[in-house]
């Protein structure tokens, strides 16, 4: 045992390997975290480019730029890439970087698996993106890929799409196992569960959600694979199957999935708001319980995505009530954040700007979510732009602003330099205005009756669509600024102190900036 410990101690003096093998073979949580973040941003730009194509086509009524076939491929790929390629890997990247630093661990618990779960991702997305160049085009059935449109009527590339989803799923499950193993086993002495930072808590719960539902996604795509290639009829009514079964299985995965994309952001924001309010987080325990409650409820609300498929009224009522209940723990979280700011000593650096916008705009997305939960009203909202507005409000200023807030908050720790505050504030304000301009009018469009996923629309929707497109272009172009800010910050800038934010708390600020290649070789003591 002591011999093993000795070799470890020696290895810790080594820096990273040279050249490409550092990245291909690395088992270092910081390197892997960086790769996840870079990959995620690349996917964000790719998915964003597709959104620009969509908004350009919708700039005016009529078909101008793309044909409906390609338009459908764009909406599908945009959704898939943003969900599985941009948001989820970004949070895994943050987890890789920050979880060991926050709990005082030397690395993730399963470093080799960590390497593998990252490198599976580029493979999966290479397959997914390559479908764009296949005969018959990329998947064109929406990111929710409802059968039988995606089975009997799907393009030949559907099988590649299924394979890509399987690989992503394996990657996510391994990532989640790693997170759980790390948090449960490698915490510094004295860090009891109820002393864990909230980002650690939210990721622990997220990881359990991932393990619970990614196999369900794998199951549903496998059923599709069988229907397409092996003559089964899971979703084909003419063979005795049920197309609605697809939706039940998909949304049993899909609803927890949306919390997978937001809970880590809840955690990060729960660090950032106290830091820039210079005041401890209000209601730590209730924050933890609220996240737990949201996660549990997420398993019993899936059919609220299916209010119009004709489920029996008893089911309709159950899913309506259960969905409305989610507002309670979510409300508690929002109230806690506001109470944390209340009577603090506030400053508004870029992380705080993004975090405050997160709270406000995510709450607006929560409000429209509450409206959507009212089953009778959902008959009017369902599958209109109101829904598009809703989920973009929880995903863009929710998940994405949460990621930007985290990135600015921890960039000094990662790079050892302060980012350019003026540019970062410009990035924030342009994103904020662009995002609201793009997505707020979508509420009006949906209420006025515009269905989602259409390449062309009736004339009464023209004005708001044009505004929405202008906002989207503005938001899209602004994101290149973020790339510039990060590159600038990596290459130089004001030296960052170990704790660059005076109100920040936590073990990650006890190590120097930039964080050394190996940290916490001896665990710190937590009182």
Partner 1 sequence: MRVHAKRAGALLGGLVFPTWSMADWTMNMSPGVTGTSNDIFSLHMTILWICVVIGVVVFGVMFWSIFAHRKSQGHKPANFHENTLVEILWTIIPFVILVVMAIPATATLVDMYDTTEAEVDVKITGYQWKWQYEYVDQDFGYFSNLATPRDQIENRQDKGENYLLEVDNPLIIPVGKKVRFLLTANDVIHSWWVPAFGVKKDAIPGFINETWVRVDEPGVYRGQCTELCGKDHGFMPVVVEAVPEEEFNVWLAEQKAAAQKERELTQKDWTMDELMARGEKAYQTACAACHQPDGSGAPPAFPALKGSPIATGDVTAHIDIVVNGKAGTAMQAFGNQLSEVDLAAVITYERNAWGNNTGDMVTPKEILDYKNQQ
CB-nearer residue toward partner 1: 20 or 285:
285
Total site size for partner 1, rule CB under 8 A:
100
**318 is an interface residue for partner 1 by CB under 8 A:** no
Contact between residue 372 and residue 304 where contact means Cβ atoms under 8 Å apart: yes
Beta-carbon contacts of residue 149 (< 8 Å; ≥ 6 apart) = 141, 142
CB atoms within 10 A of CB 120: 19
Among 190, 280, 492, 516, binds partner 1 (CB under 8 A): 280
Residue 30 burial class via C-beta count within 10 angstroms: exposed 0-12, middle 13-18, buried 19 and up: buried
**11 is an interface residue for partner 1 by CB under 8 A:** no
Residues 68-87 that bind partner 1 (CB under 8 A): 68-69, 72
Among 46, 66, 211, 327, binds partner 1 (CB under 8 A): 327
**27 is an interface residue for partner 1 by CB under 8 A:** no
Closest of 14, 136, 169, 1 to residue 69, by C-alpha: 136
Residues 152-181 that bind partner 1 (CB under 8 A): 152-153, 155-156
**396 is an interface residue for partner 1 by CB under 8 A:** no
Place of tokens 């002495």: 189
Binding segment (CB under 8 A) for partner 1, from list 95-103, 424-432, 437-445, 486-494 = 437-445
Cα–Cα distances in Å, from 87 out to 8, 142, 249, 472, 475?
34, 18, 22, 18, 17
- Whether the bond between 34 and the residue before it is cis, its omega within 30 degrees of 0, is no
Element (H, E) at 193: none
Q: Minimum distance from CB of 359 to partner 1 (Å)?
A: 7
Among 123, 170, 226, 325, binds partner 1 (CB under 8 A): 325
CB-nearer residue toward partner 1: 27 or 152:
152
Binding segment (CB under 8 A) for partner 1, from list 82-90, 197-205, 325-333, 513-521 = 325-333
**292 is an interface residue for partner 1 by CB under 8 A:** no
Q: Minimum distance from CB of 243 to partner 1 (Å)?
A: 6
**498 is an interface residue for partner 1 by CB under 8 A:** no
CB atoms within 10 A of CB 4: 8
Among 185, 229, 308, 522, binds partner 1 (CB under 8 A): 308
Residues 240-259 that bind partner 1 (CB under 8 A): 241-244
Q: Which residues of 241-270 are buried (b: 16+ CB within 10 A; e: fewer)?
A: bebbebbbbbbbbbbbbbbbbbbbbbbbbb
Binding segment (CB under 8 A) for partner 1, from list 55-63, 162-170, 213-221, 516-524 = 55-63
Q: What is the Cα 440 distance to its own chain's centre? A: 21
**215 is an interface residue for partner 1 by CB under 8 A:** no
Contact between residue 147 and residue 63 where contact means Cβ atoms under 8 Å apart: no
CB-nearer residue toward partner 1: 266 or 457:
457
CA distance 91 to 108: 15
Q: Which residues of 309-332 are buried (b: 16+ CB within 10 A; e: fewer)?
A: eebeeeebebbbebbbbbeebbeb
CB-nearer residue toward partner 1: 181 or 462:
462
**66 is an interface residue for partner 1 by CB under 8 A:** no
Q: Which residues are catalytic?
A: 78, 107, 143, 171-172, 255, 257, 259, 270, 304-305, 330, 333, 452
């Amino acid at each position: 045992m002591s011999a093993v410990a000795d070799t470890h101690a020696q290895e810790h003096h080594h820096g990273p390997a040279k050249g490409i093998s550092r990245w291909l073979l690395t088992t270092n949580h910081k390197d892997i975290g960086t790769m996840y973040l870079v990959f995620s941003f690349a996917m964000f730009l790719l998915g964003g480019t597709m959104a620009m194509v969509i908004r350009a086509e919708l700039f005016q009524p009529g078909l101008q730029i793309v044909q409906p076939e390609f338009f459908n491929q764009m909406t599908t790929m945009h959704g898939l890439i943003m969900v599985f390629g941009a948001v989820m890997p970004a949070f895994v990247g943050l987890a890789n970087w920050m979880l060991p630093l926050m709990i005082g661990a030397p690395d993730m618990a399963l470093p080799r698996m960590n390497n593998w779960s990252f490198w599976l991702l580029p493979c999966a997305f290479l397959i997914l993106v390559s479908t764009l160049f296949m005969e018959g085009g990329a998947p064109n059935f929406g990111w929710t890929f409802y059968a039988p449109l995606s089975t009997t009527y799907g393009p030949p590339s559907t099988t590649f799409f299924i394979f890509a989803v399987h690989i992503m799923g394996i990657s996510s499950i391994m990532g989640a196992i790693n997170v759980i193993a790390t948090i449960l086993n490698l915490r510094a002495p004295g860090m009891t569960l109820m002393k864990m930072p909230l980002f650690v808590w939210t990721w622990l719960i997220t990881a359990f959600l991932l393990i619970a539902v990614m196999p369900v996604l794998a199951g549903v795509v496998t059923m599709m694979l069988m229907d397409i290639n092996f003559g089964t009829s899971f979703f084909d009514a003419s063979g005795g199957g049920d197309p609605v079964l697809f939706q039940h299985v998909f949304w049993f995965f899909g609803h927890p999935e949306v919390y997978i994309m937001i809970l880590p952001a809840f955690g990060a924001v729960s660090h950032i708001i106290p830091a820039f309010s210079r005041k401890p987080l209000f209601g730590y325990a209730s924050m933890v319980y609220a996240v737990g409650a949201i996660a549990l409820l997420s398993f019993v609300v899936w059919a609220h995505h299916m209010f119009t498929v004709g489920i029996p009224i008893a089911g309709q009522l159950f899913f309506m009530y259960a969905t409305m209940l989610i507002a309670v723990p979510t409300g508690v979280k929002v109230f806690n954040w506001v109470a944390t700011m209340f009577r603090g000593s506030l400053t508004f650096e870029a992380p705080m700007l993004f975090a405050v916008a997160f709270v406000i705009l995510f709450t607006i997305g929560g409000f429209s979510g509450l409206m959507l939960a009212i089953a009778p009203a959902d008959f009017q909202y369902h599958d209109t732009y109101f829904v598009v507005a809703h989920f973009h409000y929880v995903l863009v200023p929710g998940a994405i602003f949460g990621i930007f807030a985290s990135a600015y908050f921890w960039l000094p720790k990662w790079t050892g330099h302060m980012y350019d505050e003026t540019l970062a504030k410009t990035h924030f304000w342009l994103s904020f205005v662009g995002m609201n301009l793009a997505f707020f009018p979508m509420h009006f469009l949906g209420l006025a009756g515009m269905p989602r996923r259409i390449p062309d629309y009736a004339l009464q929707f023209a004005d708001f669509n044009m505004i929405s497109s202008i906002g989207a272009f503005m938001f899209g172009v602004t994101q290149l600024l973020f790339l510039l800010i990060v590159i600038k910050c990596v290459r130089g800038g004001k030296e960052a102190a170990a704790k660059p934010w005076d109100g920040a708390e936590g073990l990650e600020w006890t190590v120097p900036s930039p964080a050394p290649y190996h940290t916490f070789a001896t665990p710190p003591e937590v009182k």
